[in-house]
Amino acid sequence: MVAPQFVRQPFTLTYELNPPRSTTANKLLAQAAAAAPYVDAFNLTDCPMSNLRMAPGPVADRIQRDLKVATIPHVTARDRNLLGIQSELLGFAFLGIRNVFALTGDPIKIGDHPNAKGVYELFANQLIELIQKLNGGKDAVGQAVTPAPQFSVGAAVTLTDGRPEGLEAFQRKVQAGTDFFQTQIVLDAKSLDANAHKYETTKPVIVGTTPLRNAKMLEAFRTIPGVDVTDRVVKRLAAAKDFAAEANRLVLELRDAVKGRYAGLHLMPITPDEDQVVALLRELRGKSAAVPVVARRAEDLP
């Protein structure tokens, strides 16, 4: 197992980016450049919600080279067989990527290619075991891999899930060798109190959240499994004069609840408003925490 080097004391901040359905990533790279002074690592999703997107590996490589910020590309078992997954992981290691996030993957039928065939040769816990085997210098059939990669392996957990099967899935990931966890979106700091204590681990747990932009987005989250949209949050945002500002305050309150209890926050902006997100990142870190980075315009990025 490899401890994640991007985890910082006393508080880690990670940021999720969704690669585009395109052959260029100008907007995404500009978004990353704006966030880079405040974050410890960028997650790069892998065809989220089973929708076609650019592969995360090349984007992760570009961000690490240009912005000098660690990346965490996602790897889903949905789209690759055992051979393809290992090949991709070796490629990540070659690029200097040291963190990966292991997922089973969303169902094919919910995405924009419903007639595609899902592979699902591995579940997330089996993918974690495979990555740890590669870390130990062996591939899936016992052949030597030299030099061995040294991946820190992340996995997902839903802290608000009170179902026995939710806890069992978490325990399987712990036993498989997960090095850090990032959680499903939490909107209300108080919602952590009901079930989060059941998900105990010595590994870093980074609590996921998102800055909501409007009431339509809030309503959409009611349909996403694992996201607990509490009445308290709904009433508070409905009464707010400035929805986005109040949504930012909810994230700041979550930060205060997380400090000293979890490793940090994982920010997952959905169709982000850059001004809102940068303002939030500055508040989460404080101006003195910013690392000087020259943010470039999107048109300056190839």
The pLDDT score that the predictor gives to residue 286 is 76
Rg of the chain, C-alpha, whole Å: 19
Residue type, 187: L
Interatomic CA distance for residues 119 and 82, integer angstroms: 9
Backbone angles phi, psi at 122, to 5 degrees: -130, 150
pLDDT tens sequence across 161-207 = 989 999 999 999 999 999 999 999 999 988 888 888 899 999 999 99
The pLDDT score that the predictor gives to residue 295 is 34
Domain 12-287: which CATH number of 3.90.550.10, 3.60.21.10, 3.30.980.10, 3.20.20.220: 3.20.20.220
Residues 6+ apart with CB under 8 A from 287: none
Interatomic CA distance for residues 180 and 100, integer angstroms: 10
In DSSP terms, 12 is beta-bridged to 264
The pLDDT score that the predictor gives to residue 293 is 33
Name the stretches of the chain with pLDDT < 50: 288-302
Is 0.85 surpassed by the pTM of this model?
yes
Query: How far, CA to CA in Å, does 120 sit from each of 36, 57, 83, 225?
Result: 34, 20, 13, 20
The pLDDT score that the predictor gives to residue 271 is 76
Alpha helices in the chain (DSSP H): 26-35, 56-67, 82-94, 124-135, 164-176, 192-195, 215-221, 231-239, 243-258, 274-285
